[in-house]
Amino acid sequence: MLSIKNLHASIEGNPILKGINLEVKPGEIHAIMGPNGSGKSTLASVLAGREEYEVTDGEVTFKGKDLLDLNPEDRAREGVFLAFQYPVEIPGVSSTNFLRTAVNQVREYRGQEPLDAVKFLTLMKEKMKLVDIDQKLLSRALNEGFSGGEKKRNEIFQMAMLEPTLSILDETDSGLDIDALKIVADGVNELRTPDNATIVVTHYQRLLNYIVPDVVHVLYKGKIVKSGPKELALELEEKGYDWIKEDAGSTT
């Protein structure tokens, strides 16, 4: 589904990603961990197509298409979901209006009929149940004054509505409490199907107590220096990152 080969990227002329290789297949959950500053958010941002980042080498294909060639909107329409890509605060725009537009854009791109108000409401109700979100939250202006947990619930709901093929979640907010992490985890687990995949970027080992990844990758100094099964997250929890740094130092 997603194939990243020798990806190099810079910001303001500073090389950050230095040869990322990653293959994600349908049905899989991949966790990307690593010490602060190793390039995790940069990787997520490059996949999102954020303009500040310059890809200097390598390639990324998504369902056989050159992902780097697509603008962020078309990436979304192709089925890539990036939680943080969506607006943080738009005063006066309720999430419902925002979502109907987004969902119908995706449907149009896929050659599907747009949903009228009634059908959209039916879909919303179904997904609200699935991710356990309250109607009241949705009628508030998008993310305005949302708590960390409410933002997360809203993001997961957006993800449920858009039915992405590949979701990329960058859990950067150090202020998130355990309840907010559980909301993310429950959503990811609930929305998992054999046909979609998720990349969870996190420096919280504890998130992976709730999301069970198929593969854990450790990013360090812009490279994936170690990949392993879910137990790798537990090992990192116990031992920290220093041993990874030593390993990386001796082999690179």
Is 252 an interacting residue with respect to Mg ion (CB under 5 A)?
Answer: no
Task: Name which of 11 and 55 has its Cβ closer to ligand ADP.
Answer: 11
Nearest to 4 by CA among 39, 52, 51: 39
Is 189 an interacting residue with respect to Mg ion (CB under 5 A)?
Answer: no
Q: What share of the chain is helix, strand, coil (3-state, %, to 5)?
A: 45, 25, 30
Task: Name which of 12 and 231 has its Cβ closer to ligand ADP.
Answer: 12
Contact 47/60 with Cβ under 8 angstroms? yes
Around Cβ 134, how many Cβ atoms within 10 Å?
10
Tell me the closest approach of the beta carbon of residue 54 to ligand ADP, in angstroms: 11
Binding track over 15-54 against ligand ADP, x by CB under 6 A: -x-----------------x-xxxxxxx------------
Helix (H) or strand (E) holding 154: helix 148-162
Beta-ladder partners of 54: 10
Is 173 an interacting residue with respect to Mg ion (CB under 5 A)?
Answer: no
The interface partner of residue 42, options being ligand ADP, Mg ion, none and the CB cut-off 5 to 8 Å by kind, is ligand ADP
The interface partner of residue 16, options being ligand ADP, Mg ion, none and the CB cut-off 5 to 8 Å by kind, is ligand ADP
Coil vs helix vs strand at 60: strand
List the alpha helices (DSSP H) in 170-230.
178-191
Is 36 an interacting residue with respect to Mg ion (CB under 5 A)?
Answer: yes
Task: Give the Cα separation of 234 and 156 in Å (integer).
Answer: 25
Is 205 an interacting residue with respect to ligand ADP (CB under 6 A)?
Answer: no
Around Cβ 174, how many Cβ atoms within 10 Å?
8
Tell me the closest approach of the beta carbon of residue 195 to ligand ADP, in angstroms: 28
Interface contacts to Mg ion, rule CB under 5 A: 36, 40-41, 172
Interface contacts to ligand ADP, rule CB under 6 A: 11-12, 14, 16, 34, 36-42
